[in-house]
Structure formats: structure tokens, C-alpha cells
Amino acid sequence: MSAQEEKKRYSEEELKEFEEIINTKLEVARKELAYIKDTLSRKNDSGTDNTGAATKLMEDVDTSEREQMSQSAGRLQKFITQLENALIRIKNGTYGICIDTGKLIPKERLRAVPHTQQTIEAKLRRV
């Protein structure tokens, strides 16, 4: 057995790296979500800070675009929840362990998809 196979958990230093990746992704996702929510909420805003052109522009956004934005907001909210749950797993010591196999998820996969709970092999088996 190789050292990677024998290893059951990531070190504190490795977990700190993953935590930084997750926090960076969380910050970006939260900003995107706030922007989408702000854009959607401006639809009915008739405050004095709106210019006529800006109000007209928002009126021109059709229903399907609003629906797409709402769907994007939903996906972002789900992503944020998954990232927050990954931070909880870091704190409780279960981060990076496949929920199906109990094996350590490769670092490369966690760097690419830091909220994953499965090795790629386990995920492919589920599909």
C-alpha cells in the first residue's frame, strides 16, 4: 500500500489550504448572488436615484431573462450552502473523505471541486 492509500485524513496544513480555497470561492459566489438579487429587486424600484435610462433598461429585461437570473441565484445559493457545509466538514474532521468509499479524495479533485464528498470513481458509479 502506498502512503496516499494508507492516509485516512488530511493534515492541518492541507486542510488550511482547502479552507482558503473554499473561502475564496464563497466570497466570489456571495458577491455574484448579491449582484443578481440586487438586479432582480431593482425591477420595481422607483427610487429617485434611478435615471430614466436605467429604469427603461430594467423594463426591457424580459420574463425569460428574469427566470434565468432566478435560476442562477438558486444554483449559487446551493453552491454557497455546499461550500459552507465543506467548511463544517473541515472543522469536524470529515473533510476530504469519500462518503461512499471512506477513502481519501485526491487533492487535485478537492482543489477543482472543494465541496465534493466523493471520489470521482464513486461519483461515476452513482450516475
Q: What is the pLDDT of residues 32-87, one digit of tens each?
A: 999 999 988 876 555 545 555 555 555 555 677 888 999 999 999 999 999 999 99
Whole-angstrom CA distances from 99 to 35, 86, 95, 112, 116 are 34, 13, 10, 18, 10
> For residues 119 and 106, is the Cβ–Cβ distance under 8 A?
yes
Please compute, for residue 95, the number of CA atoms within 13 A of its CA located in the half-sphere on the CB side: 29
- pLDDT at residue 63, rounded to an integer: 76
**CA 16 to CA 20: how far, in whole Å?**
6
pLDDT at 2 over 80: no
- pLDDT at residue 94, rounded to an integer: 94
**CA 9 to CA 94: how far, in whole Å?**
8
Distant-in-sequence, close-in-space partners of 32: CB < 8 Å, separation ≥ 6: 76
> For residues 36 and 120, is the Cβ–Cβ distance under 8 A?
no
Higher pLDDT, 116 or 65: 116
Q: Which domains does the chain have, with CATH numbers?
A: 12-39+65-123 (1.20.120.910)
Instruction: Enter the C-alpha cell of residue 44.
Output: 420595481
Q: What is the 3-state secondary structure (H, E, C) of 39-65?
A: HHHHHHCCCCCCCHHHHHHHHHCCHHH
pLDDT band of 114, cuts 50, 70, 90: very high
- pLDDT at residue 4, rounded to an integer: 47
pLDDT in tens, 24-38: 999 999 999 999 999
- pLDDT at residue 60, rounded to an integer: 58
